[in-house]
Amino acid sequence: MDNLEKRLAEEKKLLDSIQAPDELEMRLRSALHHAPKKTKRYTFRWKAAAVALFFIILMGFQYNAFAFYGKKLLGFDEVMDGSLKELNEKGMGQIVEKKTKLEDGTELMINGIISDSNQLVVYYTLSNQKGIDDSLNETFRISRISGILTNSNAEGGVSILNDEHTEIKGKISFEPVSPFSKKLNLSFWQPLQNDQMIEGSIAIPYNPNKAMATEFKQSLKKTFKVDKGTITFHSITASPTMTIIKGTLNVENYSRVDSPLHGIELIANGKPIDLMGSGSTSSLRGRTFDIRYDTLPKQLDSLELVMKEFVGYQKLEEKISLSSISEGSITLHGKELWIKNVTTTSHRVEITIVTDDDVMLDGVSIQTQKEIVPLSTTVNQTYTKQEDGRGLKERTLQFDSMANPEYLLIEGMHYLKVYNKKMEIPVD
């Protein structure tokens, strides 16, 4: 950072000595924002070039606006799909080919990376002619990447072990790295004996000028009200590798259903963009989230965000008789509940139920002749998929009582509710 600060001071001193035309900054900014797709050669006087360099520094070293064409990364077709595969076919990214040895003699090769303003993707190979233990494929992980102004965590990946068990090809995506970094340190975990793990690292070069530019970025600032709070969408950023929507949540029952963000669709030119994943983080300042989609079409005519489904809550105040169990279902505000079995032992009461896989019951208890006993715990939860694609969830409710239950009481339920709230995103 000392070298960077020295460079900034030198450029500022140079700028102070230059008498540039008043309209130069406006022309430079316009040129940067409207740069043609094909690279052209221009002749600048040295003073104008120095001013342009200083403005770029002040603007924060934005990712390179021109595409970089390099070598195609070979042997990774099975772990690539969609946009990443297309970018590799065009030779985008950086070849690395740095290697190190793991504790068991397996060679780790960092083959290449591809980077833009949304993520950095690492492609790696593990090889050992003596054979690779199955546990290595399950436990080896490149966990984080560090560098100047960079501390990026892994966000997901995939790996494939060959039939001979001598080679693993893998891909891991990380949070974007700083354009100030010119060397990255990749930290990884590898297994030892006795189920222990040890951390290692490998340094690789990184050229921020070969990172790809943001293609579309827009502030959203839109809030939707839901049953138990609000969800606010702050921004959308589209890059050559993916599209990310970021926002904040203030939703009391957000974690009561699985993958609540997956019911939010991004529609481009009238067609849904494939969902790649989502995540959320809690802190003292609240909960933030991001939703990751595939890339936007090159010709973007319209863009819309649709919150088709999101976590909801329905008050029920149901009192279900347990005197006789039928094979039929009980309807709870459009959702179905089956009671499969009721058992009273010398220790507890157990009731096995089945519901739609997105339903979580709230305020559950049983009523006996003498008292109301709240739910103690839930065990043996399993998921099944019906032939029509419907998902069901079976689990056993346990109550600390030895008395025969007469009624099952349910105050409410959390579930994926249909909202169909829409937001138009300007594309001009």
What does the pLDDT look like over 237-252, one tens digit per residue?
Answer: 999 999 999 999 999 9
- Is 162 found in the same domain as 100? yes
The predicted model gives 57-86 an average pLDDT of 56
State the pLDDT at residue 52. Answer: 40
Distance (Å, whole) CA 200 – CA 186:
8
Of 185, 210, 235, the residue that ends a domain is: 210
Q: Are residues 237 and 121 in the same domain?
A: no
DSSP state, residue 116: B
Instruction: Select from 396, 310, 407 the least CA-distant residue to 365.
Output: 407
In a domain, 67, yes or no: no
| Predicted confidence band of residue 86 (pLDDT cuts 50, 70, 90) | confident
For residues 132 and 204, membership in a common domain is answered with yes
Domain match, 35 and 82 both: no
Query: What value does the mean pLDDT take over residues 349-355?
Result: 97
Average pLDDT value for residue range 193-199? 86
108 domain-assigned = yes
Domain for residue 63, yes or no?
A: no
Residue 132: pLDDT band (50, 70, 90) is: very high
Same domain, 243 and 197: no
Taking the C-alpha atoms of residue 318 and residue 332, their distance in angstroms, rounded to an integer, is: 8
Domain boundary (210, 230, 259) is at 210
Query: What confidence category does residue 307 fall into, taking pLDDT thresholds of 50, 70 and 90?
Result: very high
Say yes or no: 120 and 202 in one domain: yes
Q: What token pair was written down for 20?
A: 């540039």
> Are residues 206 and 159 part of one domain?
yes
pLDDT of residue 72: 62
Question: In angstroms, how far is CA 40 from the centroid of its own chain?
Answer: 37
User: Which range has the worst mean pLDDT, 76-85, 104-113, 326-335?
Assistant: 76-85
Query: How many structural domains does the chain have?
Result: 4
What does the DSSP assignment read for 356-416? Answer: ETT-EEEEEEEE-SS-EEEEEEEEEEEEEE-TTS-EEEEEEEEES--SPP-EEEEEEEEEE
Task: Give CA torsion, residues 316, 320, 325, 329, to 10 deg.
Answer: -20
Q: Which of 234, 212, 235, 215 is nearest to 297 (CA)?
A: 215
| Mean residue pLDDT across the chain | 84
Is residue 262 helix, strand or coil? helix
Whether the per-residue pLDDT at 140 is higher than 80: the answer is: yes
Does 368 fall in a domain? yes
Residue 53, φ and ψ in degrees, nearest 5: -60, -45
Question: Tokens representing 89?
Answer: 């076919």
Residues 95, 179, single domain; the answer is: yes
Of 8-12, 55-59, 140-144, 384-388, the poorest mean pLDDT is in 55-59
Give the integer Cα–Cα distance in Å for 34 and 23. 17
Last residue of a domain, one of 173, 192, 210: 210
Both 92 and 190 in one domain: the answer is: yes
Q: What is the CATH number of the domain that holds 244?
A: 2.60.40.1640
| 53-67 average pLDDT score | 37
pLDDT over 90 for what percent of the chain? Answer: 65
- In which residue are the tokens 């481009």 written? 268
- Give the range of the structural domain holding residue 384, as residue numbers without chain letter: 313-414
Average pLDDT over residues 308-332: 92
pTM of the model: 0.75
Say yes or no to pLDDT of 67 above 90: no
Contacting residues for 148 by C-beta, under 8 A, at least 6 apart: 1, 178, 180, 181, 182
